[in-house]
Amino acid sequence: MSFRSIEIGERIRDARKAANMSQTELADRLNKSLRTIQKYESGDILPPLDVIDAIAEVLDTTTAHFIGYGNKEIHLDSFSDVAAFLYELNKKSSLRFEIGVKYHSSHGKWECSICFDGDDPNAELNGEMCVFLKRFRDAREDVETYWADWNFFDSWIEHQLIDYGDYKLRDKEIEVLSLQERKRRRYEWEDMMEEKEKKAAEERAKKMEELYGKRNSNSDK
């Protein structure tokens, strides 16, 4: 039993009561046993996605209502809302995004990207984020290339929200540092980055030597 299954179960129970329908009636409409419906509502069993869709249809509501998505207010009315969302996301330790900026001097353009390292050992949900973003790209492309409609996209995201409902985010532990301690850590960070760049330069030089060695070897044949 998970917190997610309990939440969904409570919403199914409330929707059933609002529709003046008994558990037995709902079970009959869904071709399920009474015990199964009871387990759904108690949270002992998380209904499969297709069953949640069927329950929503029988009770004249939406899948989004059962997974709680419809109850969440997401305000994206201005650019400030997007900026505030990124700021809040940055407070989580389970996910970490890098920001890349590239300037193309040849044609005067530039671009900025947000990247999640799927192998980041310090952000355990980055891998899941990469999987989700790939699926999101594919689903959106199906809509934009007319293989599917927006109803498909809506249904797809609702199902994703159910799948990821139990993946809870952890807040970062915010440290309050003195100026002296902050300076000390800054120096340590600079030394670490310098050593990292040094190793990267050595690795590049090694690869160049190997490349030239192979070329010279081939030219001697």
pLDDT digits (tens, 9 = 90+) for 19-70: 999 999 999 999 999 999 999 999 998 888 889 889 999 999 888 788 776 5
Distance CA(135)–CA(1), nearest Å, equals 27
Query: What are the structure tokens assigned to 8, written together?
Result: 């969904």
pTM to 2 decimals?
0.68
Token pair 């505030």 is found at 84
The answer to whether the CB of 26 falls within 8 A of the CB of 37 is: yes
Look at 37-41, 101-105, 181-185 and tell me which has the smallest mean pLDDT: 101-105
Tokens of 52: 């949640």
Predicted local confidence at residue 218, as pLDDT: 64
Is the confidence at residue 163, as pLDDT, over 90? no
Rounded to the nearest 5 degrees, what angle is found at the Cα of 55, between the Cα atoms of 54 and 60? 100
Q: Could you tell me if 36 and 27 are in contact, meaning their C-beta atoms sit under 8 angstroms apart?
A: yes
| Tens digit of each residue's pLDDT (9 = 90 or more) over 80-93 | 999 999 999 999 99
Give the span between the Cα atoms of 54 and 189, in whole angstroms. Answer: 55
Residue 221 pLDDT class (50, 70, 90 cuts):
low
Q: Write out pLDDT tens, residues 150-160.
A: 989 988 887 88
The average pLDDT across 109-118 equals 93
Mean model confidence pLDDT for the chain: 88
In the predicted structure, residue 72 carries a pLDDT above the cut 70: no
